[in-house]
């Protein structure tokens, strides 16, 4: 634990990944005093954030997700100047491969929406894609989309940049402090119990990602977030892969590739993965994913394995996050990003600071992404989930 816990705090944030770190920074930037960030692990950003692929993109299927990207990705572009931490933002572009007519039709609508909102997404036919990616086997690709401003960012750099900046502004960030209970009196939050002590507080922000439902249950709030395992691996050097190789996604298979160092990072989502908190690599699924990856990128057959790992997506029923208040006064949620939380972490911290301090989000209108939408059947489904 980096610091002893205070007896009281004005705001307690649970979860030291990108969301919690960004919230702590943006609250402190607004001048909020006595902000406390709690992380249960030994280091910040080692949960879902530390196990993600680091991708950031504008290519989404709903207006709210596109607008979140339009606010968040420029914050990453300015990150080193504003926060003082290098994050290795590489705008290599995302290239979605489309292999069936249904996806082609849906992505045509998605691109029209993205362009209307100002995202510079290109539409490519199959031959154009095959010329761009001669290393890949793409005979069945009908079309695709590419946005040059999409890319990759170092997750650890973002988390530690926000933690350092929040601390410089007076926020307290503590590791090895697992939350064990949330005290609710007369319908409102009064305290947070942890393995390192109890903090009296009137306001708690649940930014626990895949564990957000567990934290919600401690406050008597049912949060519809389900953890789903996703895994990936990195390879030894493949010099045939050019430096400008994009982040390639075979959409129908949820199979993806991008350069990682001198090699390649690849992964594929298992559509039959059961919900749960298991973060061990499934060797059977790894073999299935590797076979599919080699079919697309035959060079992989000659590569060795450097590392493999699994992490958790935090899935909601409509693959959109939950922002804001719950039926328990003083208990707020910022979680459920369904695989695209890292890229929206910067703006989400800003939005939660606005919600906590001003009563509503102003930078991006996320009022449709409230907790109440599930009970009221106001779901907004995101199509571009990998």
* Alpha-carbon separation of residue 374 from 119, 224, 356, 369, 381 (angstroms): 29, 8, 22, 9, 12
Of residues 10, 15, 14, 16, the one with CA closest to residue 34: 10
Contacts of 138-142 spanning 24+ positions with Cβ under 8 A: 138/97, 138/296, 140/99, 141/97, 141/98, 141/99, 142/98, 142/99, 142/100, 142/101, 142/104
- Are the C-beta atoms of residues 170 and 32 closer than 8 Å to each other? no
- Are the C-beta atoms of residues 92 and 151 closer than 8 Å to each other? yes
pLDDT for position 32 = 97
DSSP state of 109: H
Question: Which residues, in sequence order, are CB contacts of 141 under 8 Å at separation 6+?
Answer: 97, 98, 99, 126, 129, 130
Helix (H) or strand (E) holding 96: strand 94-98
- Are the C-beta atoms of residues 129 and 138 closer than 8 Å to each other? yes
Spatial separation of the C-alpha atoms in residues 11 and 27, rounded to whole Å: 9
Spatial separation of the C-alpha atoms in residues 104 and 155, rounded to whole Å: 31
In sequence order, which ranges of 84-137 are alpha helices (DSSP H)?
101-116, 126-132
Q: Write out the chain's pLDDT in tens, 386 residues.
A: 456 899 999 999 999 999 999 999 999 999 999 999 999 999 998 888 888 889 999 999 999 999 999 999 999 999 999 999 999 999 999 999 999 999 999 999 999 999 999 999 999 999 999 999 999 999 999 999 999 999 999 999 999 999 999 999 999 999 999 999 999 999 999 999 999 999 999 999 999 999 999 999 999 999 999 999 999 999 999 999 999 999 999 999 999 999 999 999 999 999 999 999 999 999 999 999 999 999 999 999 999 999 999 999 999 999 999 999 999 999 999 999 999 999 999 999 999 999 999 999 999 999 999 999 999 999 999 988 98
Sheet containing strand 263-268, edge to edge, reads 121-125, 143-147, 94-98, 247-250, 255-260, 263-268, 226-235, 305-315
Question: How many residues would you count in the chain?
Answer: 386
pLDDT for position 49 = 85
Spatial separation of the C-alpha atoms in residues 51 and 277, rounded to whole Å: 13
pLDDT for position 268 = 97
CB atoms within 10 A of CB 302: 11
Of residues 19, 17, 64, the one with CA closest to residue 40: 17
pTM above 0.85, yes or no: yes
Spatial separation of the C-alpha atoms in residues 59 and 57, rounded to whole Å: 6
Spatial separation of the C-alpha atoms in residues 214 and 159, rounded to whole Å: 23
Beta bridge partners of 322: 335
Q: What angle do CA 33, 223, 56 make, to 5 degrees?
A: 70
Q: Which domains does the chain have, with CATH numbers?
A: 11-52+155-225+318-373 (3.50.50.60), 93-150+226-314 (3.30.9.10)
- Are the C-beta atoms of residues 182 and 193 closer than 8 Å to each other? yes
Q: What angle do CA 311, 157, 74 make, to 5 degrees?
A: 100
pLDDT for position 379 = 94
CB-count exposure of residue 117 (10 Å: 0-12, 13-18, 19+): middle
Question: Which residues, in sequence order, are CB contacts of 291 under 8 Å at separation 6+?
Answer: none
């Amino acid at each position: 634990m980096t610091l002893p816990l205070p007896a009281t705090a004005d705001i307690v944030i649970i979860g030291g990944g990108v969301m919690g770190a960004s919230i702590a920074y943006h609250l402190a930037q607004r001048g909020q005093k006595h902000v406390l960030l709690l992380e249960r692990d030994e280091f910040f950003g080692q949960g879902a954030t530390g196990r993600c692929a680091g991708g950031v993109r504008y290519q989404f299927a709903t207006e709210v997700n596109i607008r979140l990207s339009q606010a968040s990705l420029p914050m990453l572009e300015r990150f080193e100047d504003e926060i003082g931490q290098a994050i290795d933002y590489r705008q290599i572009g995302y290239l979605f491969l489309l292999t069936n007519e249904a996806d082609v039709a849906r992505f045509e609508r998605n691109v029209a929406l993205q362009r209307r909102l100002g995202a510079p997404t290109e539409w490519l036919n199959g031959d154009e894609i095959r010329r761009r990616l001669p290393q890949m086997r793409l005979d069945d690709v009908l079309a695709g989309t590419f946005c040059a401003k999409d890319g990759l960012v170092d997750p650890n750099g973002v988390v530690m940049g926000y933690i350092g900046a929040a601390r410089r502004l007076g926020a307290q960030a503590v590791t090895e402090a697992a939350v064990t209970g949330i005290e609710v009196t007369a319908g409102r939050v009064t305290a947070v119990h942890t393995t390192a002590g109890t903090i009296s507080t009137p306001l708690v922000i649940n930014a626990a990602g895949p564990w957000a439902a567990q934290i919600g249950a401690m406050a008597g709030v049912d949060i519809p977030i389900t953890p789903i395992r996703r895994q990936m691996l990195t390879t030894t050097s493949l010099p045939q892969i050019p430096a400008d190789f994009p982040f390639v996604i075979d959409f129908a298979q949820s199979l993806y590739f991008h350069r990682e160092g001198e090699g390649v990072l690849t992964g594929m989502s298992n559509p039959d993965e059961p919900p749960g908190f298991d973060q061990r690599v499934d060797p059977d699924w790894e073999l299935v994913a590797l076979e599919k990856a080699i079919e697309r990128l035959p060079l992989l057959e000659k590569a060795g394995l450097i590392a493999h790992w699994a992490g958790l997506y935090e899935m909601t029923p409509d693959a959109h996050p939950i922002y804001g208040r719950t039926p328990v006064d003083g208990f707020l949620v910022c979680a459920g990003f369904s695989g695209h939380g890292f890229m929206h972490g910067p703006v989400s911290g800003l939005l939660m600071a606005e919600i906590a301090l001003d009563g509503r989000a102003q930078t991006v209108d996320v009022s449709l992404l409230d907790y109440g939408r599930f009970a009221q059947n106001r779901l907004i489904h995101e199509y571009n989930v990998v």
